[in-house]
Amino acid sequence: MHALSHGSTSTPTTIAVPPALSLPVIEAAFPRQLHPYWPKLQRETRAWLLEKRLMTPEKVESYADGLCYTDLMAGYYIGAPDEVLQAIADYSAWFFVWDDRHDRDIVHGRPDAWRRLKDLLHSALDRPGDHLSHQDPVVAGLADSVRRLYAFLPDTWNARFARHFHAVIEAYDREFHNRTEGVVPTVEEYLELRRLTFAHWIWTDLLEPSAGYELPDAVRKNPAYRKPALLSQEFAAWYNDLCSLPKEIAGNEVHNLGISLVTHEGMTLEEAIADMRHRVEECISEFLDAEQEALRFADRLDDGTVGGKETGAAVRVCVANMRNWFSSVYWFHHESGRYRVDSWDDRSTPPYVNNATEGEK
């Protein structure tokens, strides 16, 4: 299937989606949007990656635009103030770089380096100002990006974001041990861990500074809001697993829904792929129903008071961006060079990563 896509250049291109990965409902019912700040966003994030030494100049020049990290965020947080979107995009780019470091620490057998990095990231998350000049670019990059994110909403939001990301760091540690020990989690164990390693609640938290409004706990935790938020993230995580399965099999990964289905449910690879696709499609149909309930919830919140009107409006903005996540994630996986395993010289070593022994100095 083909569809018109913005891609990572100013000229729209036609992207061919492999039939096994095509989702006609996304292309028909989830029109893609792109934040108008995107061209500058791409330039600024590229410069930030260089400034913070998160990628070498050669890697930035060759791969940064083609990885489409800024496209992913610019297609999600529509309506965000430019400075909010920039902070989110830089944090997202950092997240991908951190994910690659985690992978390389596993591949090269660097448990001591990983343990040091994990502890430093916990510290940088709580006290970013103390780590802005840290010698490890991954530590300094997190400190800079979260310091900026913490400037937009009250301390209560900051504390929640930090709490959620501390849990993500610990989940990455569990993944580190699973991979080094060759442990394939069961399907239920994997789904629980995936909600953390994909950072479901981090990307959901970031809907609020994009809307310029911290939602009260009673609103965020209401099933009418929480369900579409979770479905949008589950779709993204499982579609990512579907698209990245060849890459992760090539890299002897143990963390992929398909790998858990084959290992623990006795499925063939073809059956596992069909099961994953079914789960992805169910997420979409369930979201369409949950989206309508969330919008009715927003209408109920808008009770005629100033506070009710503001809260209802913020919920509508957040729900609209939950919807945007579907199309943004979908096209990202077909535009980004992150998943083009067949074009790599070594299917287990992405060409955009720093494969040196960083961290064992």
Catalytic positions are 95-96, 198, 338
Tokens 């442990």 correspond to what residue?
A: 183
The two most distant CA atoms of the chain are separated, in Å, by 61
**CB 332, CB 68: distance < 8 Å:** yes
CA angle 236, 242, 247 (to 5 degrees): 115
Residue 19 burial by CB count (10 A; 0-12/13-18/19+): exposed, middle or buried? exposed
CA–CA–CA angle 91, 92, 97 (5° rounding): 95
What are phi and psi for residue 2, nearest 5 degrees?
-115, 150
Q: Look-up: residue for tokens 């697993």?
A: 241
Give the Cα separation of 125 and 143 in Å (integer). Answer: 6
Find residue 13's DSSP bridge partners: 5
Q: Which of 113, 99, 114, 254 is nearest to 181 (CA)?
A: 254
Q: Which of 7, 91, 6 is nearest to 45 (CA)?
A: 91
Name the nearest CA neighbour of 325 among 242, 233, 240, 241.
Answer: 233
Whether residue 174 contacts residue 193, with contact meaning beta carbons closer than 8 Å, is answered with yes
Compute and round to an integer the Cα radius of gyration of the chain: 20
Q: Which string of DSSP letters, residue by residue, matches 211-235?
A: HT-PPPHHHHTSHHHHHHHHHHHHH
